[in-house]
């Protein structure tokens, strides 16, 4: 029998106000039709998570990880309750669950926990009574200590993908403010192009280097488990209380993949070795051609026989330097500085050691990086010397469906020689080149790189 479970994910901008929540409820209603086996994963409303982090820092510069998770997880709980209320109000039976109630079991690490398993007992019970299940994203409960944990930035996207895999859902649909993938952030580069077809390898590459279309952890997991993803617009900003039609909610963009046959959910850790150049998530022979859908096909590596260039980046990153004889000892020093294994780690973009000069480049949310800086400052004060040197930076990456070779980098470098840099180092991967830039020049670099990449 065909599995009829659908999973929808609404981001914070789609739930920013009461009017947005009512519109989201009607969007869910329009998607369901006669079906009722559906899960809706929600983020916190608007910028609520950032507000809660800032509030915590006003009370305690380095708050307890446990208490911080207790605080910031409330944002999603507000969203889930309000959306469940809205669904019931319009005649759609619904019930809301926290991550713990939904059986999302995680590691013990606060603020950046990993999903270990999902035990959807209460969710399946809700399906028996034809109720839509609204789940608070971004959170779970630790396996050993039964503490509330959060999954880090992008954790709500990860929740939606993980639950889709666990219940063998037909697909996972993300309701986004912007319809699909652009060659740069349209908020920074208004001329950014809407890309209609993109290889899965490039999507993995761009999200790893900071593209905000989806979080890279959820893309990696979907890639590994061959889960079909879909991106849709949720509602127009300011859309008024609840009317819905196909013009307001078009399905604009799809990632086609083979539905996973097994409901087992591997540890997120095991996905870190996923090869972006490996087996494609997208299989063109499985695509359901539909004029209203724009698809991503791994078989099509170009648009109108031209290479795709995309600009991504992290506005918040750190360049860390310390004396260390080897990379392993450098990472041990960094782990000890942060407080051990069960702590939040930023995303490591580069680790290197040459002649006892170690460097780490990491990225993360502003709050996480402030926490890292505070930990390093405390260690330096304790040791009465600057064991670590910290430079706040940003990164800007250019990625391409073709290999980013030395000729291309030479041309870029010549054009960018007068642009301010945080370092002369360029991070290279087969499909990307990443520049280290001053934070206050992030948007300038993004616009300039986009201009150059489209003209070469």
User: What tens digit of pLDDT does each residue of 103-125 get?
Assistant: 999 999 888 899 999 999 999 99
Q: Say whether both 255 and 161 belong to one domain.
A: yes
Q: Say whether both 383 and 291 belong to one domain.
A: no
Q: What is the pLDDT of residue 294?
A: 32
Q: What is the pLDDT of residue 307?
A: 72
Residue 43 belongs to some domain of the structure:
yes
What CATH number has the domain bearing residue 340? 3.30.2130.10
Alpha-carbon distance of 378 to 191, in angstroms, equals 44
Number of domains, the chain: 2
CB burial of 326-346 (b: ≥16 within 10 Å; e: otherwise) equals eeeebbebbeebbeeeebbbb
Q: Say whether both 223 and 350 belong to one domain.
A: no
Question: What does the pLDDT average to over 40-64?
Answer: 92
- H/E element, 24: helix 18-32
Q: What is the pLDDT of residue 274?
A: 37
Residue 1 belongs to some domain of the structure:
no
pLDDT one-digit tens code per residue, 365-381? 888 898 899 989 999 99
The secondary structure of residue 306, as a DSSP letter, is B
Residues 6+ apart with CB under 8 A from 383: none
Phi-psi region of 304 (alpha: psi -120 to 50; beta: other; left: phi over 0): left
Residue 104 belongs to some domain of the structure:
yes
Q: Which domain holds residue 437?
A: 310-455
- H/E element, 390: strand 389-400
32 is written with which tokens? 């369901």
Q: Say whether both 289 and 355 belong to one domain.
A: no
**Which residue, 301, 319, 335, sits at the end of a domain?**
301
Question: What does the pLDDT average to over 296-302?
Answer: 33
CB burial of 286-300 (b: ≥16 within 10 Å; e: otherwise) equals eeeeeeeebbbbbee
Alpha-carbon distance of 392 to 65, in angstroms, equals 23
- H/E element, 115: strand 115-118
Q: What is the pLDDT of residue 418?
A: 87
Question: What does the pLDDT average to over 349-378?
Answer: 91
Q: What is the pLDDT of residue 358?
A: 96
Residues 6+ apart with CB under 8 A from 391: 318, 319, 320, 321, 422
Q: Say whether both 295 and 319 belong to one domain.
A: no
Portion of the chain with pLDDT greater than 90, in percent: 54
151 is written with which tokens? 């999954």
393 is written with which tokens? 């930076």
Higher pLDDT: 300 or 353? It is 353
Higher pLDDT: 179 or 329? It is 329
- Count Cα atoms within 13 angstroms, Cβ side, for 252: 21
Alpha-carbon distance of 30 to 23, in angstroms, equals 11
Nearest in space to 370 (alpha carbons), one of 12, 56, 44, 48: 56
**Which residue, 281, 301, 321, sits at the end of a domain?**
301
Q: Say whether both 420 and 292 belong to one domain.
A: no
Residue 132 belongs to some domain of the structure:
yes
188 is written with which tokens? 């920074």
Q: In what order do the strands lie in the sheet with 229-233?
A: 94-97, 132-136, 38-42, 6-10, 172-176, 229-233, 253-255, 295-296
Q: In degrees rounded to 5, what are phi and psi of residue 139?
A: -145, 165
Is the predicted pLDDT of residue 254 greater than 60, yes or no?
no
Q: What is the pLDDT of residue 340?
A: 65
- Residue 343 pLDDT class (50, 70, 90 cuts): low
User: Across the chain, what does the average pLDDT equal?
Assistant: 81
Question: What does the pLDDT average to over 429-454?
Answer: 93
Give CA separation, 261 vs 138, 163, 168, 170, 451, in Å: 25, 14, 7, 10, 43
Q: Say whether both 199 and 291 belong to one domain.
A: yes
Alpha-carbon distance of 108 to 194, in angstroms, equals 40
Higher pLDDT: 324 or 291? It is 324
Is the predicted pLDDT of residue 78 greater than 50, yes or no?
yes
Q: Say whether both 276 and 349 belong to one domain.
A: no
376 is written with which tokens? 């390093």
Residue 119 belongs to some domain of the structure:
yes
Nearest in space to 346 (alpha carbons), one of 366, 374, 328: 366
Higher pLDDT: 215 or 270? It is 215
Q: Say whether both 190 and 326 belong to one domain.
A: no
Alpha-carbon distance of 392 to 95, in angstroms, equals 44
**Which residue, 284, 301, 318, sits at the end of a domain?**
301
Residue 317 belongs to some domain of the structure:
yes
Q: Say whether both 278 and 336 belong to one domain.
A: no
Higher pLDDT: 147 or 241? It is 147
The secondary structure of residue 86, as a DSSP letter, is H
- Residue 295 pLDDT class (50, 70, 90 cuts): very low
Higher pLDDT: 292 or 171? It is 171
Question: What does the pLDDT average to over 238-266?
Answer: 31
Residues 6+ apart with CB under 8 A from 405: none
Q: What is the pLDDT of residue 194?
A: 87
Residue 33 belongs to some domain of the structure:
yes
Question: What does the pLDDT average to over 230-247?
Answer: 43
Question: 160-169, 258-267, 319-328, 390-399: which has the minimum mean pLDDT?
Answer: 258-267
- Residue 338 pLDDT class (50, 70, 90 cuts): confident
Residue 344 belongs to some domain of the structure:
yes
Q: What is the pLDDT of residue 3?
A: 54
What CATH number has the domain bearing residue 265? 3.40.1160.10
Q: Say whether both 286 and 354 belong to one domain.
A: no
Question: What does the pLDDT average to over 49-78?
Answer: 93
Whole-model pTM over 0.85: no
Q: What is the pLDDT of residue 243?
A: 26
The strand pairing partners of 340, in sequence order, are none
Alpha-carbon distance of 416 to 275, in angstroms, equals 31
Q: Say whether both 294 and 320 belong to one domain.
A: no
Question: What does the pLDDT average to over 439-444?
Answer: 96
Question: What does the pLDDT average to over 240-250?
Answer: 26
User: Three-state DSSP class for 294?
Assistant: coil
267 is written with which tokens? 């540890």
């Amino acid at each position: 029998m065909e599995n009829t479970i659908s999973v929808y994910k609404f981001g914070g901008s789609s739930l920013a106000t009461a009017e947005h929540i009512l519109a989201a409820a009607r969007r869910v209603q329009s998607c369901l039709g006669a079906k009722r086996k559906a899960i809706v994963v929600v983020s916190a409303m608007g910028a609520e998570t950032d507000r809660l982090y800032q509030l915590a820092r006003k009370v305690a510069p380095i708050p307890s990880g446990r208490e911080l998770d207790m605080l910031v997880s409330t944002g999603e709980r507000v969203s889930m309750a309000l959306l469940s209320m809205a669904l019931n109000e319009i005649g759609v039976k619904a019930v809301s669950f926290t991550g713990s109630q939904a059986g999302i079991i995680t590691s013990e690490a606060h603020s950046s926990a990993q999903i270990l398993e999902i035990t959807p007992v209460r969710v399946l019970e809700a399906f028996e009574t034809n109720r839509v299940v609204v789940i608070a994203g971004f959170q779970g409960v630790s396996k050993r200590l039964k503490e509330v944990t959060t999954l880090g930035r992008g954790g709500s996207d990860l929740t939606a993908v993980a639950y889709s895999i666990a219940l063998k859902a037909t697909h996972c649909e993300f309701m986004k403010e912007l319809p699909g993938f652009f060659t740069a952030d349209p908020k920074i580069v208004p001329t950014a192009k809407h890309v209609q077809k993109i290889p899965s390898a490039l999507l993995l590459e761009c999200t790893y280097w900071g593209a905000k279309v989806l979080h890279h952890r959820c893309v990696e997991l979907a890639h590994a488990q061959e889960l079909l993803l879909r991106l849709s617009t949720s509602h127009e900003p300011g859309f008024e209380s609840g009317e819905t039609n196909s013009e307001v909610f078009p399905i604009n963009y799809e990632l086609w993949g083979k539905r996973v046959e097994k409901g087992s959910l591997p540890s997120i850790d095991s996905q870190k070795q996923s090869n972006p150049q490996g087996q494609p998530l997208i299989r063109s022979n499985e695509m359901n051609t539909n004029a209203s859908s724009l698809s991503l096909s791994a078989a099509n590596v170009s648009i109108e026989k031209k290479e795709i260039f995309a600009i991504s980046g992290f506005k918040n990153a750190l360049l860390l330097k310390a004396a260390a004889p080897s990379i392993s000892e450098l990472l041990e020093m960094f782990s000890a500085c942060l407080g051990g294994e069960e702590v939040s780690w930023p995303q490591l973009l580069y680790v290197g050691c040459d002649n006892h000069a170690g460097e780490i480049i990491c990225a993360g949310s502003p709050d996480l990086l402030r926490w890292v800086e505070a930990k390093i400052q405390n260690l330096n004060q304790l040791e009465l010397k600057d064991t670590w040197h910290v430079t706040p930076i940003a990164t800007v990456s250019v990625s391409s469906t073709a290999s980013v070779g030395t000729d291309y980098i030479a041309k870029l470098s010549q054009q960018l020689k007068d642009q301010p840099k945080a370092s002369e180092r360029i991070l290279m991967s087969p499909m990307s080149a990443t520049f280290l830039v001053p934070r206050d020049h992030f948007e300038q670099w993004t616009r300039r790189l986009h201009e150059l990449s489209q003209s070469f």
